[in-house]
């Protein structure tokens, strides 16, 4: 059935409003869209790594989750949800459960690219029937905007500050989506909030209803860390995609597929300019840094096109 935003939006909310996430944060629409991809009759056990999403949606005695939810620690949501899925498998085998449960783990880039990478890798390798969603806001936002291995090069963060000698973070962003694709699990997708959430929703549906482990890497901008105007959330995501900074693609059964090719690939400046974290790059003396970033994006885009047989 063709994607219909109105119909999808009419599905019941499984993460209610009233939580404490910031205005203009990408994470709540990511979670809500993913949970809407559940069939109405299905239940989910959701988990979150310690982070903004967790502390803002489950502050005792309130929870915004309408599905059963567990938070344990920062680095272990992959293992935690894999354990819940294992219990489900055993209880079904013993004939004690017949309800349809789905298992979804959410982690930020800190809890996924960095401290939780081992736990994630283990859970995926073991083949649990679960989805791991990284809402990638490209820094440790919950502790106050520290750099992670998901932070892009030259971004200004509180532990990779731009100063008189260094222009922000010194390393390129880790390509986690490709790392997860190298696990050769049934489904890996990279997406963000664009085009009425269509790409995100459809990938969530595939991820949830593909048997076995699935991984989704979702760019989820953070207005505090990225320093953009809160109403610009969707525009920033669109620019990430149209500049090919964050291409939309999926790897299904080992086949790489590009989901969106911009008609006109925009220069990286268009994406960086509205974000305060890159402001210093627009000083005259930093022109060569912009050129370096553009070159890197071009190289990675060409590489992706080759992998997706689009070159």
Partner 1 sequence: MPIRERLSGNEAIAVAMRQINPDVVAAFPITPSTEIPQYFSQFVANGEVETEFVAVESEHSAMSACVGAQAAGGRTMTATSANGLALMWEVLYIAAAMKLPVTMACVNRALSGPLNIHNDHSDSMGARDSGWIQLYSENNQEAYDNMLQATRIGEHKDVMLPVMVCQDGFITSHAVENIELLEDDKIKAFVGEYKPEHYLMNPKEKIAVGPLDLPAHCFEHKREQAQSMINAKKVILDIAVEFEKLTGRKYDLFESYKLQDAEVAIVIINSTAGTAKTVVDKLREEGVKAGLLKIRVFRPFPSNEIADALRHVKVLAVMDKAEGFSAVGGPLNADIRAALYGNADGIKTVNYIYGLGGRDVRSDDIETVYRDLLEIQKTGKVGADYRYIGVRE
Residues that bind partner 1 (CB under 8 A): 43, 45, 47, 54-55, 58-61, 63, 65-73, 75-76, 78-91, 93-94, 97, 99, 101, 118-119, 121-123, 125-126
> Which CB, 117 or 222, lies closer to partner 1?
117
- Least distance between partner 1 and beta carbon 24 (Å): 22
- Least distance between partner 1 and beta carbon 60 (Å): 4
- Least distance between partner 1 and beta carbon 255 (Å): 27
Question: What is the maximum alpha-carbon separation in the chain?
Answer: 68
> Which CB, 8 or 91, lies closer to partner 1?
91
Reduced to 3 states (helix: H, G, I; strand: E, B; else coil), residue 276 is: helix
> Which CB, 69 or 271, lies closer to partner 1?
69
> Which CB, 179 or 305, lies closer to partner 1?
179
Cβ(87)–Cβ(110) below 8 Å:
no
How deeply is 291 buried, as exposed, middle or buried, from its count of CB atoms within 10 A (0-12, 13-18, 19+)? Answer: exposed
Would you state the torsion angle of the CA atoms of residues 62, 65, 69, 72, taken in this order, to the nearest 10 degrees? -50
- Least distance between partner 1 and beta carbon 180 (Å): 15
> Which CB, 82 or 160, lies closer to partner 1?
82
Tell which residue, 47, 15, 18, has the closest CA to residue 33: 15
- Least distance between partner 1 and beta carbon 111 (Å): 12
Q: What DSSP string describes 140-209?
A: BTTTTSB--TTSPTT---SSS-B-SS-BS--SPPP-HHHHHHTTT-SEEEEEES-GGGHHHHHHHHHHHH
């Amino acid at each position: 059935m063709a994607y219909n935003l109105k119909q999808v939006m009419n599905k019941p909310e499984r993460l209610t409003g009233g939580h404490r996430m910031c205005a203009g944060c990408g994470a709540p629409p990511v979670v809500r869209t993913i949970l809407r991809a559940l069939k109405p009759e299905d239940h989910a056990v959701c988990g979150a790594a310690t982070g903004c999403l967790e502390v803002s949606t489950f502050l005792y005695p309130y929870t915004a989750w309408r599905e059963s939810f567990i938070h344990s620690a920062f680095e272990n949501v992959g293992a935690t949800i894999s354990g819940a899925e294992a219990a489900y498998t055993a209880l079904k085998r013993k004939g004690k459960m017949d309800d349809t449960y789905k298992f979804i783990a959410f982690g930020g880039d800190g809890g996924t690219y960095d401290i939780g990478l081992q736990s994630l890798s283990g859970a995926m390798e073991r083949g649990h029937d679960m989805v791991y969603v990284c809402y990638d806001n490209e820094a440790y936002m919950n502790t106050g905007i520290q750099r992670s291995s998901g932070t892009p090069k030259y971004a200004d963060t509180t532990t990779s500050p731009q100063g008189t000698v260094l222009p922000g973070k010194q390393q390129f962003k880790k390509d986690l989506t490709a790392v997860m694709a190298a696990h050769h699990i049934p489904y890996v997708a990279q997406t963000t909030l664009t085009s009425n959430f269509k790409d995100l929703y459809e990938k969530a549906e595939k991820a949830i209803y593909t048997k076995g482990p699935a991984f989704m890497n979702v760019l989820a901008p953070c207005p505090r860390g990225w320093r953009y105007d809160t109403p610009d959330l969707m525009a920033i995501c669109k620019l990430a995609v149209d500049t090919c900074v964050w291409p939309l693609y999926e790897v299904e059964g080992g086949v790489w597929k590009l989901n969106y090719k911009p008609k006109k690939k925009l220069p990286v400046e268009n994406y960086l300019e509205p974000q305060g974290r890159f402001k210093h790059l627009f000083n005259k003396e930093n022109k060569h840094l912009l050129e370096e970033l553009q070159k890197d994006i071009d190289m990675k885009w060409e590489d992706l096109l080759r992998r997706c047989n689009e070159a």
